[in-house]
Amino acid sequence: MKANKIRDGVYMLAAAHWERRLFDSLIPLPDGTSYNAYLVEGQEKTALIDTVDPMKADFLMGHLQDVKNIDYIISNHAEQDHSGCIPLMIEKYPDAKVIATPKAKPMLKDLLLIPEEKIIAVEDGETLSLGKRTLRFIHAPWVHWPETMLTYLEEDHILFPCDFLGSHLATSEMFVSDECVVYEAAKRYYAEIMMPFRTAIQKNLEKIKDLNIEIIAPSHGPAHNKPEFILKAYSEWVYGEPKNIAVIPYVSMHGSVKKMVEYLVEALAEKGVSVAPHDLTATDVGRLAMALVDAATVVIGTPAVLAGAHPAAVYAAYLANALRPKTKFISIVGSYSWGSKAIDQISGLLSGLRAEVIPPVFIKGFPKEADYRALDSLAENIAQKHRESNLK
Ligand code: FEO
């Protein structure tokens, strides 16, 4: 077996997908990704923790060529990029049992047509001895599906959290070597996948805080042999207050909204607010999602199209609402020629954020002197709200 050895008898089988550029037909992957399975050999039994995306089935089969027996396939998460090769594994190792949470069991049956009798459901905290090695299963719902669990290898102090604490990053390295690169990839991953479940993540971080963890071995991206790096980053993203940042996702058709946004960016910066404008025709949704992690304010910029907001602005508002960032304030800037319901439409789409709405600036045509004054007021309103909230 050609694989990265974490310890004697513990191996990382990381199928790097360097060229993949889109996940779930939605999420951009600028740095590719990897699907990591792990092989754990006890004195009596052998377990495979998660599998890989079926697109990389050959990788897994090749690396397990010399592995005669696998007794357990641990399915931490039923999504197919980790579970998709379980049917192949069952074919290769017909005596293997699949270990999953009670919630995962029907999902594995539905998604992968795995026979029910093959799956053993384990309770929270239940252990499984491999002989001188023990796996403990920790239910961790909503990171990021309802059925997720983490697996802890007790004797080696290794946590296998699947998606949780991972990153979409293809790399030839087993452990994190450049923390800046991984921080960026992990933050992007958190923003796109985990952020909507912030409360569940808090509970799950709480659940593992007293575990002695030497290595965190996720199923995407490199493993962490300095676990405090990723745990600290998650704490900051999950518990930290939003920052003195305004994000402006905008789209412009004939330059009016662009001019408004450029003016607002300068006005906010002059008042001490960090600003991040995102032209929705050029930015990727991952970058926008990342920007939303820390921003206290979101201002959507849109022209009027067909009596409503531009579809790109509608998409950005829908996305921001779905990702549930810590946003405290929202507003809208835009321009119309003969009328628009854009303000009602965008406000409605953002209602799930439960953020305070700062009066929008929606103007007729190209901005004029009075419009610039209105944008000055909007900038002052935002800066004042940030000051009152004592944002750093
Ligand atoms: Fe990496 Fe939720 O699958």
pLDDT (tens digit, 9 = 90+) per residue, 166-198? Answer: 999 999 999 999 999 999 999 999 999 999 999
Residue 391 maps to a domain: no
168 lines ligand 1 (CB under 6 A): no
CA-wise closest residue to 234 among 273, 203, 274: 203
Quote the tokens at residue 82.
């980790």
One domain for residues 127 and 234 = yes
pLDDT digits (tens, 9 = 90+) for 12-38: 999 999 999 999 988 999 999 999 999
Alpha carbon of 191 to ligand 1 centroid (Å): 14
Residue 223: DSSP 8-state: B
Shared-domain flag, residues 146 and 211:
yes
**pLDDT score, position 3:** 74
- Summarize the confidence of residues 242-247 as an average pLDDT: 98
361-364 and 329-336: which strand pairing?
Answer: parallel
pLDDT tens, residue by residue, 262-288? 999 999 999 999 999 999 999 989 999
How far lies 200's CA from each of 75, 239, 243, in Å?
Answer: 20, 12, 22
What's the 56 CA to ligand 1 centre distance in angstroms? Answer: 15
Residues 300 and 185 in one domain: no
Whether the predicted pLDDT of 234 surpasses 70: yes
Q: How confident is the model at residue 324 (pLDDT cuts 50, 70, 90)?
A: very high
- How far does the centroid of ligand 1 lie from the alpha carbon of residue 166, in Å? 10
Smallest CA-to-CA distance from 56 within 28, 18, 10, 4 is with 18
Q: What is the CATH number of the domain that holds 115?
A: 3.60.15.10
Q: How far does the centroid of ligand 1 lie from the alpha carbon of residue 388, in Å? A: 39
pLDDT of residue 268: 98
Indicate if ligand 1 lies below 6 Å from the C-beta of 294: no
CA of 164 from ligand 1 middle (Å) equals 9
> Do 157 and 272 share a structural domain?
no
Closest residue by CA, ligand 1 atom 1: 163
Total domains in the chain come to: 2
Same domain, 305 and 367: yes
- In a domain, residue 328? The reply is yes
| pLDDT for the residue numbered 340 | 84
What distance in angstroms lies between residue 156's CA and the mean position of ligand 1's atoms? 25
As given in the structure block, the two tokens for residue 78 are 């039923």
Instruction: Please state the atom number of ligand 1 nearest to the C-alpha of residue 144.
Output: 2
The verdict on residue 392 lying in a domain is no
Structure confidence by residue, pLDDT tens digits, 73-128 = 999 999 999 999 999 999 999 999 999 999 999 999 999 999 999 999 999 999 99
102 domain-assigned = yes
One domain, residues 197 and 294: no
User: How high is the pLDDT of residue 339?
Assistant: 82
Q: Is residue 163 in contact with ligand 1, taking CB distance under 6 Å?
A: yes
Q: What is the pLDDT of residues 194-217, one digit of tens each?
A: 999 999 999 999 999 999 999 999
pTM score of the predicted model: 0.95
Q: Residue whose CA is closest, atom 3 of ligand 1?
A: 79
Q: Work out which ligand 1 atom sits closest to the CA atom of 166.
A: 1
Mark whether 288 and 321 lie in a shared domain: yes
Residue 1 has pLDDT above 70, yes or no: no
Q: Report pLDDT for 96.
A: 98
Note whether 52 and 191 are same-domain residues: yes
Does the structure show a pLDDT above 80 at 2? Answer: no
Question: Does 297 fall in a domain?
Answer: yes
- What is the residue range of 253's domain? 243-383
**Centroid of ligand 1 to alpha carbon of 243 (angstroms):** 29
Residue nearest to atom 2 of ligand 1 (CA): 79
Q: Please tell me if the CB atom of residue 81 comes closer than 6 angstroms to any atom of ligand 1.
A: yes
Q: Is residue 388 part of a domain?
A: no
Which atom belonging to ligand 1 lies closest to the Cα atom of 163?
1
Ligand 1 atom closest to Cα of 80?
Answer: 3
Residue 211 and residue 152 in contact, taking contact as beta carbons nearer than 8 Å: yes
Ligand 1 pocket check for 53: Cβ under 6 Å? no
pLDDT in tens, 114-145: 999 999 999 999 999 999 999 999 999 999 99
Mean pLDDT for the stretch of residues 239-255:
97
Q: How many other C-beta atoms are found inside a 10 Å radius of the C-beta of residue 123?
A: 9
On whether both 158 and 179 belong to a single domain, the answer is: yes
Same domain, yes or no, for 256 and 235? no
Residue with tokens 């495979």: 48
d(CA 98, CA 109): 11
Q: What is the pLDDT of residues 332-373, one digit of tens each?
A: 999 999 888 999 999 999 999 999 999 999 999 999 999 999
Look at residues 216, 239, 262 and tell me which one is the last residue of a structural domain.
Answer: 239
Ligand 1 lined by 63 (C-beta under 6 Å): no
Query: Does residue 275 sit within a domain?
Result: yes
In a domain, 335, yes or no: yes
Residue where a domain terminates, one of 212, 239, 266: 239
Q: Does 31 sit in the ligand 1 pocket, CB within 6 Å?
A: no
- Residue 193 CA: nearest ligand 1 atom is 2
The verdict on the CB of residue 77 being under 6 Å from ligand 1 is yes
Say whether pLDDT at 306 is over 80: yes
Question: Do 262 and 295 fall into the same domain?
Answer: yes
Which of 200, 220, 239 is the C-terminal boundary of a domain?
A: 239
Q: Report the CATH number that the domain containing residue 314 is assigned in CATH.
A: 3.40.50.360
Q: In this structure, are 282 and 348 located in the same domain?
A: yes
